[in-house]
A and B are shown apart, each in its own frame.
Chain A
């Protein structure tokens, strides 16, 4: 399979994740869509690493994976904190950042 196919698939996945972030309002689902976009970026990184024939892009993708894990941990911690305060889990209702 030529590398182009992977890049096309990666841009499709990225656009899908972006649409998800725009149309969904639950913070959990927005985090899931963020995962989709990060994974699309990972796929592009690995495809380019294969195209160039060196493995440094894969190390880059590994670092992206670490950052995604950190983002999930902090984001889910925030969601649990919001839930504990009995605030609505809806990004349109949570307009203000002040406690």
Chain B
């Protein structure tokens, strides 16, 4: 049962990965990434990492993919322009990828980790479930946990600043924009000055109207 699941999920993961890099339309690439991610979640379950499998499906297939789909729909999933910007790029890139694969294979084969050939030690049923991961996260790895929460906050703020709509077309970087908004314009056009001038004019008007009536 386990080998069937493993090879099925491995085929799905590899097929999804090849689909991502081979389809011309980015929308189909995103759909292939969903196949890849769900197959990886199955592999995580086989490695008895239940919480991470759930997080993979919820975070990736639920949130990240939706973000990708929205952005692809926004920018329009146009096909790429002609190939070959650098001479021989199509030939060189797979060769470099193959070299990387050979390097990784050498690293795996030459590693002296004796446990690589085994199934790993017997672990209890609680291995990798949310309770144990949560305990580890909040006791031993509290500082990385808090640091990653700060990182998420910074990323959200950065995305809002980057993708925020500009009022005056495409002039200026965000920092210039903030400087322009905070600095009051020169001259008498400041709104507070307007208000003060109006109130000063308003004071003499009322008695004069009263004297004429």
Contact = CB atoms under 8 A, between A and B. Distances in A.
Interface of A: 1-9, 11-20, 22-26, 28-29, 31-33, 35-36, 39, 42-43, 46-47, 49-53, 55-56, 58-59, 61-63, 65-74, 76-81, 83-86, 89-90, 92, 99
B80 A26 contact: yes
Given A69-B152, A80-B71, A85-B170, A14 B133 contact: no
B80 A39 contact: no
A32 to B, nearest CB: 5
B13 A9 contact: yes
Contacts of B47: 6, 46-47, 49-50
Interface residues of B, number: 89
Interface of A is mostly: helix
Contacts, number: 236
Interface of B: 2-3, 6, 10, 13-14, 17-18, 20-21, 26, 29-30, 33, 36-37, 40, 43-44, 46-49, 51-52, 55-56, 59-60, 63-64, 67-68, 71-72, 74-75, 78, 80-81, 85-86, 89-90, 92-94, 96-98, 100-101, 104-105, 108, 113, 115-121, 123, 127-128, 132-133, 136-137, 140-141, 144, 148, 151-152, 154-156, 158-163, 165-166, 170, 173
